[in-house]
Amino acid sequence: MSDRQAVHDYIVRNRQRFQDELFEFLRIPSISAVAERKGDTRRAAEWIGERMRTAGLEVSIHDTAGHPIVLGEWRQAGPGAPTILIYGHYDVQPPEPLELWTTPAFEPTIRNGRIYARGSCDDKGQLYLHVKSLESHLAVNGKLPVNVVVIAEGEEEVGSEHLMPFVRAHRDRLACDAIVISDTGMVGAGLPTIGASLRGLAYMEIRVQGPAQDLHSGSYGGAVLNPATALARIIASFHDAQEHIAIAGFYDDVDPAPVFRANMERVPHDPAAFLEETGSPLAWGEVGYSTVERLWIRPTCEVNGLLSGYTGEGSKTVLPAKAMAKVSCRIVPDQDPAKIARLFEAHVRKVAPAGVTVEVLELHGGRPWRARLEGALVEAGARALKYAWGKDVVYAGEGGSIPIVPEFEEVLGAPAILLGFGLPGENAHAPDEWFSVENYELGTTAMAELLFELEHYQRS
Ligand code: BES
Ligand code: ZN
């Protein structure tokens, strides 16, 4: 039997154990956003570190002012062998609202070939399948075809604040020829996908102050500007009638001809399935662009949260003192998050009505990213995915953000490839998140295959 076949047989033979171990990982509520989960988040870091160690990697856990960074290294591939950096995150989003989960978020359950749990897909399942692919190589052949550094962080879902300086401070240790990431999705079941771009993010908060304290809406209403009304006007000014973003200068740096536009036609988009997946009554967006274009190559300005006045049971006649909105702009190449934040703030100040005071805060940001879709890395990725799925890959833009990707490329000088195994409707960040059992196994197979494919890879 060839080395290749033996590795792939090992993956099939160990299917049940690989799944049981992932379940253990998923039971740890490593919610990075919540201070009281700090201990659990550390436990997840230690858990994944221990699994990397038993797979055969040399493991170190690096404390930060936030959550720990876990490194797993294997550097015995011999002179001239390339070094591959594999990145993933062990933190997850909060599971709320809890009552909307069919089974509890941190009690993984299989239904209809899907593993339901917070983090199953984003990103514990996709991180762990890399660890299993490394284990499979090392268990069967006692070696890897390439040098490997695995870096697992615990702050991806909250902006990767401490990973950025860590990467800069350890650029020599993290030096590599390619960066491999599984934290995205496939365009459809059975359609292996390579990510062609990521949107970036400029995350803002608007605080509107009206009167010094809440007022009786009868005694004062109509004579004092209501901050909720002021905020509603500000928010309404973000889009024009064509649903273009009406912030001056917002589109200045948007790439008018994204490289992979031609490929978009190859991506199946079923409008009915899209409505079913979102539960929204209508597809909506910028006039002149298709749904796929709106998601892949166009920026957004989106309210993520709103707060003002009385929202409890029944009614209370009150004129609130304050109103607050969290707003994030997804941005595309070549928009810059800091510039967008500046333009956003200038716009809010310009349209804010007299009668309230307005504060604009910049919470966090991340740059957009565009893949190089030719070269040895993408070719190796496409062959590895084809080996597992038996189909040619599709190149897809990604609506979401992974701010460390452009940072990695810039600091380490190596290209990144996004090989993701989520599926449409996977409910990432929402109740009933799931990861396909089949994709967990095929993803492991594909990533094991990728290591074989990269044996003679040279950065171009
Ligand atoms: N896995 C996602 C990124 C993603 C989402 C890629 C959808 C492709 C499609 C990642 O875990 C994530 O959620 N990132 C955050 C980043 C933010 C907190 C800076 C995001 O996109 O909101
Ligand atoms: Zn996420």
Q: Tell which residue, 192, 186, 224, 194, has the closest CA to residue 208.
A: 224
- What Cα–Cα distance (Å) separates residue 263 from each residue in 196, 293, 296, 396? 10, 11, 12, 8
Is 90 exceeded by the pLDDT of residue 449?
yes
For ligand 1, whether the C-beta of 427 sits within 6 Å is: no
pLDDT, mean of residues 69-89 = 97
Q: Which residue has the higher pLDDT, 2 or 442?
A: 442
> How confident is the model at residue 459, as a pLDDT?
86
| CA 182 – CA 160 distance, rounded (Å) | 16
Looking at residue 34, its amino acid is V
Is 60 exceeded by the pLDDT of residue 261?
no
Joined tokens for residue 181: 């990431």
Q: Is residue 286 part of a domain?
A: no
DSSP 226-257: -HHHHHHHHHHTTB-TTS-B-STTTTTT--SS
Q: Is residue 259 part of a domain?
A: no
**Do residues 90 and 167 share a domain?**
yes
397 CA → ligand 1 middle, Å: 13
120 CA → ligand 1 middle, Å: 14
Q: Tell which residue, 117, 108, 124, has the closest CA to residue 70.
A: 124
For ligand 1, whether the C-beta of 366 sits within 6 Å is: yes
Looking at residue 378, its amino acid is V
| DSSP letter (8 states) at residue 374 | S
Residue 204: which CATH number? 3.30.70.360
> How confident is the model at residue 262, as a pLDDT?
52
> How confident is the model at residue 259, as a pLDDT?
58
Q: Is residue 412 part of a domain?
A: yes
Q: pLDDT > 70: what percent of the chain?
A: 98
Q: Tell which residue, 139, 117, 100, has the closest CA to residue 17.
A: 139
pLDDT tens-digit map of 136-173 = 999 999 999 999 999 999 999 998 999 999 999 999 99
Atom of ligand 1 nearest to the CA of 89: 11
**Do residues 33 and 53 share a domain?**
yes
| Ligand at shortest distance from the CA of 400 | 1
Joined tokens for residue 458: 């040279």
456 CA → ligand 2 middle, Å: 33
pLDDT, mean of residues 76-82 = 94
**Do residues 172 and 33 share a domain?**
yes
Q: Is residue 276 part of a domain?
A: no
The 10 Å Cβ neighbour count of residue 356 is: 23
**Do residues 74 and 142 share a domain?**
yes
Query: Over the range 283-292, which residues count as b (16 or more CB within 10 Å of their CB) and which as e?
Result: eeebeeebeb
**Do residues 28 and 114 share a domain?**
yes
| CA 67 – CA 155 distance, rounded (Å) | 6
402 CA → ligand 1 middle, Å: 6
What residue's CA is closest to ligand 1, atom 5? 400
Best mutation site among 31, 122, 419, 427 for ligand 1, i.e. most ligand atoms within 8 A of its Cβ? Answer: 122
Q: Is residue 217 part of a domain?
A: yes
Is 70 exceeded by the pLDDT of residue 258?
no
Is 70 exceeded by the pLDDT of residue 209?
yes
| Ligand at shortest distance from the CA of 426 | 1
Last residue of a domain, one of 325, 345, 366: 366
**Do residues 98 and 217 share a domain?**
no
Last residue of a domain, one of 366, 394, 425: 366
Q: Is residue 285 part of a domain?
A: no
> How confident is the model at residue 32, as a pLDDT?
98
Helices (H) and strands (E) in the chain, counts: 12, 18
Residue 139: which CATH number? 3.40.630.10
**Do residues 98 and 219 share a domain?**
no
**Do residues 423 and 344 share a domain?**
no
Average pLDDT, the chain: 96
DSSP 186-203: -SBTTB-EEEEEE-EEEE
Best mutation site among 160, 183, 302 for ligand 1, i.e. most ligand atoms within 8 A of its Cβ? Answer: 183
**Do residues 181 and 209 share a domain?**
no
Provide the H-helix boundaries in 329-431: 337-351, 376-389, 404-412
pLDDT, mean of residues 234-240 = 98
Strand partners for 98: none
> How confident is the model at residue 2, as a pLDDT?
81
283 CA → ligand 2 middle, Å: 23
For ligand 1, whether the C-beta of 433 sits within 6 Å is: no
400 CA → ligand 1 middle, Å: 5
Structurally, how many domains does the chain consist of?
2
> How confident is the model at residue 263, as a pLDDT?
65
Domain of residue 188: give its range: 3-198+369-453
| DSSP letter (8 states) at residue 266 | G
pLDDT, mean of residues 342-351 = 98
Q: Is residue 277 part of a domain?
A: no
**Do residues 22 and 170 share a domain?**
yes
Best mutation site among 184, 330, 402 for ligand 1, i.e. most ligand atoms within 8 A of its Cβ? Answer: 402
Q: Is residue 105 part of a domain?
A: yes
For ligand 1, whether the C-beta of 122 sits within 6 Å is: yes
**Do residues 417 and 309 share a domain?**
no
pLDDT, mean of residues 125-130 = 98
User: 277 with 268: CB under 8 angstroms?
Assistant: no
The phi and psi torsions of 405 (rounded to 5 degrees) equal -60, -55
pLDDT, mean of residues 435-459 = 97
Look-up: residue for tokens 């605080």? Answer: 207
pLDDT tens-digit map of 264-299 = 667 778 999 999 999 999 999 999 999 999 999 999
| Ligand at shortest distance from the CA of 153 | 1
pLDDT, mean of residues 197-207 = 97
pLDDT, mean of residues 117-139 = 98
pLDDT tens-digit map of 361-375 = 999 899 999 999 989
pLDDT, mean of residues 398-412 = 96
The separation between the first and the last C-alpha atoms of the chain, rounded to the nearest angstrom, is 33
> How confident is the model at residue 260, as a pLDDT?
58
DSSP 157-218: GGT-TTHHHHHHHTTTTT--SEEEE--SB-SBTTB-EEEEEE-EEEEEEEEEE-SSS-EETT
Does the predicted TM-score (pTM) go above 0.85?
A: yes
* Radius of gyration of the chain, Cα coordinates, nearest whole angstrom: 24
| CA 210 – CA 227 distance, rounded (Å) | 5
User: 183 with 418: CB under 8 angstroms?
Assistant: yes
Cα dihedral 124, 126, 132, 137 in deg (nearest 10): -150
**Do residues 173 and 216 share a domain?**
no
Last residue of a domain, one of 347, 366, 385: 366
